Structures are given as structure tokens and as C-alpha cells.
Amino acid sequence: MTVAAMRPTVLVSTPTTRLDFAACVLPMAQHRPFQALFGYEGQLAAMAAGLAAAGVDCALLPAPEIFGHPAARAAIRARLGADNPLVHLRFGATRSARLLKGATNLFVAGDDAALPPIDLGWHPFGGGDRLPPLMAGVLSYGPLHRPLLDLAGAVLPTTTLPEAAASADLDLAARPGRTVMAGLQVQSLAEFTRAAWSRGGEAGRAASGAPAERHAAGEPLRSTDLHAALTGAAPRRLIALPWNLAHPGGIVADLTVKLARRREQDAGLLLLPFNIGSEALDAVPRLADHVRAATDAPEAALRAIFVGRLRRPGGAHALSRITPTAWVDGSDPEAGWTLRRLERLGIAGILVAGGLQPLLPPPGARAAFHADASMQTELHTPFGRQLQRAATVSARRLGALLNLGRGLEARPPPPPATPAALGSAMRPLARQLLPELA
């Protein structure tokens, strides 16, 4: 068999600081995301599920950048069981784009509209719109407000992905009527321990003692705080708040502190952090400190704010049972993708954004809320000094935002696409990646 006639293998990777992978290349079944719902880990899972439906299996390559020598690629191929040409799909921020040399590299763009820096410094990828020259093209989940370029400034060829590529993992994992949120790990800020989250998985669950799926299934919750919040004498409404930890200039911390300071304690938050690096996880205890410092009754406030993640998509559709609505930070470069994921789960997403023009809910959002305040964060990063601006909600307008949410209920999630429908939607992309399928 000639190389051209061989079927290429698709390898997928995300930015990671983890070193605990068991091998240089892993089957997708061993993909263990910190947060399966949102962020680049969710995008990777959705893409892999969609391609699998089209008959293309992916493999996970944790660190493509370190396997540049032909001997390394030969070892990777040997582990894959075939001497195939390699296609590498890279997820994550442009600034973290990495290459597998000797493969066809494509960048999958999940975010958009990165804010301009005020002092780029010398980092070649500081601006957020450049990719390494060996990146052959871009696959985008939606229209990009600014094109992605190579280092010389040439626009890279960009293909918009089919809708199925954004939710295939959720569709394939959906079980109609299922009420158990398998894989959900929730801790209140009062309970939060970084070690449990770092361990992740079952260890994290054991440490939290708080599998919320039991509540959705009618079983008593083992998390005292979550149980009290949802079933106590004055049950609280929980609002989901996706939290992009790779976007430190966002409004999540600001909204959380403002809600904690409200006199009326009728709503709680379920923060859903994503794009979690080991350092970014420090953001959670930092937020707890902010809440402690900003409120009169810090312990009560901390017990009403939860941090959650879904390790696998199986129970995602039941999430709307405890959080029928979600606020989405309009300044988050991944807001569009997050809204589409929420919509797929039946959760009413409210986009919080500013601007002079009246806001219309973008695709995936059930409503838009006009933010009346602004904040800016100055960041010193390896990519240069950045001033990130975001539109937020003032304390006095927070009630209006909560009222908007009260008028929106979770809808039954749209019926999941069948594997056959997904396969048919994803096949053109599969053919583009792997021309011999045509």
C-alpha cells in the first residue's frame, strides 16, 4: 500500500500543563477533561465525537510540540498501529498553538474577538491573531470577527465547521429522560479544596462528598451546602455562570461578589470554570477570598456559591434541572461557543454585554442583558501588558438581571441528533481532512 492510499490518522491536542498522561498518544476514551462542557476541552470532545460519527477515529496527543523527530513520529505511529500520514488538530488559544512536525497541522478556533493589548512586548504571538507558519489552515466554529494570520500577515485559509461539530459529544451521550448528572462534581466555595480538584475524577468527588446527580435523581444530596441551597427551608435558585479561566479580564468574579453582597439571598451561583490549567485553578480560592472580604456574612455567602464541573458529557442534559438559566460573560472570547453549548442542554443563556446599540440575543442565547457598568483589568502576561475591558452589571441593576432570568425557564433540550445524522453532517469535514474518504 502506498502512503497516499493509506488512511491518515487524526490526532487532537489542547494546551495542557499536566504531566500525568500515561503515554505520548492515547485513545480518545482516555480523554479526561477537567471540564467537559465548555472551553477547548469541550471543543476537542465535540470534534472527536463528530468525526467518530463520520467514521474517523481520533487519538489524543498531549504534547505534539515535543515529538518533532522522525523517530518520535515513528513511535507514535507504532502505537497507533499503522504507518499513516498524520493530521493534527490543535485546540485552544492561538497563543498556545503548537505543531506536530511532519504532520498536516490545522488550528481549531473556538474563541474570537480577543481584546487588543496595550503593549505587545516582543512575543511573536502576543497579538492573538497570528499562528505559526506551519499551521496549514483554520477550522472555525463560527464567523471570525478578525481573520487569523500567519506570521507574515497572510490570512490563513479558514473553514467554518458544521453545527454538529459543536455538540456531537452531547448528542451522542444524551439519554432521553435521563435525570442523573453522572460525572458532575460540585463544591461550595466554603468546601472547596484545591487538592481535590487537582486530583479530579473520583478522588475529587470523594473529597467534595457532593454528587449533585443524586438530587436530580431524587436522592438526598451528600453535599450539605448544595442540599441546603436546593432543598432547604428557603430554596435558592441556582444560576450557572460559565467561567473562562484563560480570560482573566472577565466579569465572573465581579458578578459573584456583587451577588454575594445582595441583601436578598434568593439566588446562588454555580460557577463552571473551564480552560483550567494548574495555575488557573488558584483563581477559585482567590475568588473565595474576595467574597470573604466583601461580605458581612462571608460563611453564608460562600455556602451559596458553588464551583462545578462535568467530567463527562453523559449527564449534561440533566444540568438544567438545577440551573435552568445561565449568565454568559459577553467579554469572554468563547461566549459564542458557550452559548451554543448551553442552548443544546436546554439551559436559557443570557448574554451580559455592553455597547451603545440595543442588544439582540446572538445565536444560542435566549436573551441579552445590557450591562450598565464597565471594568478594566491590566494584565502582565508573557505575551505583553494587556488592558482588558469588559461590560458588567452594576449592583443596582443586578436585580433586573435576576428578574430577567426568572422569566426564562429551562426548555427541554432539543432532541439529540442521531449518530447517522451526525455522521452525515460531519462527513464533508472528514473528507476535507482525509481526502481519500471521498
Partner 1 sequence: MSGDWTPSLDAVARRLAAEPRLELWFDVSPLFDEQWTGIPVVAAALARLLLIHLPQTRFFFETTEIKPDFVRDALVRDSGVLLPAAFQDGRANLGPVQLDPARLAIGLNPSVKRVRGVFDVECNLIHDLSTLITPQYHLGANIDHHMQVMQADLASNDVTFCVSAAVRDDLVGYLALDPADVVVAHNGVSWPERFAQQLWNEVGEATVEPYLLMLGTREPRKNVARLLECVERSPSLLEHCRLVIAGKLGWLQSAEPHPVLAAAIAERRIVFPGYVGEYEKYRLLAGARATVYPSFFEGFGLPVLESLSLGTPCVASFSSSLPEAGGPACVYFDPYSISDLHRALRVVLDEDEAAQAARRQACRNQAAAFTWDRMLATILERLGALSFARLP
Residue ranges that bind partner 1, judged by CB under 8 A:
17, 19, 21-24, 62-63, 65-72, 75, 79, 98-99, 101, 121-124, 132-134, 150-152, 382-383
Identity of the residue, 105 or 323, whose beta carbon is nearer to partner 1 in the bound complex: 105
Nearer to partner 1, 67 or 369 (CB): 67
CB of 60 to partner 1, least distance (A): 11
Q: How far is the CB of 164 from partner 1 (least distance, A)?
A: 32
Q: Cα angle vertex 421, ends 420, 426, to 5°? A: 100
CB of 9 to partner 1, least distance (A): 17
Give 105 or 392: the residue with its C-beta nearer to partner 1.
105
β-strand pairing of 104-109 with 86-90:
parallel
User: Closer CB to partner 1, residue 103 or residue 221?
Assistant: 103
Q: CB-based burial of residue 277 (10 Å sphere; 0-12 exposed, 13-18 middle, 19+ buried)?
A: middle
Taking the complex as a whole, the smallest distance from the CB of residue 45 to partner 1 amounts, in Å, to 20
Full 3-state SS string of 215-254:
HHCCCCCCCHHHHHHHHCCCCCEEEEEEEECCCCCCCHHH
Q: How far is the CB of 121 from partner 1 (least distance, A)?
A: 6
Kindly tell me which of 113 and 149 has the beta carbon lying closer to partner 1.
149
Closest CA to 88 of 98, 80, 79, 75: 98
Whole-angstrom Cα distance, residue 159 to residue 170?
22
Nearest to 108 by CA among 154, 39, 56: 39
Closest CA to 108 of 241, 4, 10, 36: 10
Give the shortest CB-287-to-partner 1 separation in angstroms.
21
Residue closer to partner 1 (CB basis): 5 or 71: 71
C-beta closer to partner 1: residue 17 or 357: 17
Residue holding cell 490563513?
156
> How near is the Cβ of 426 to partner 1 at its closest, in Å?
29
Q: Compute the half-sphere exposure of residue 153: CA atoms within 13 Å on the CB side of its CA.
A: 0
Measured CA distances, 70 to 74, 227, 433 (Å): 6, 55, 22
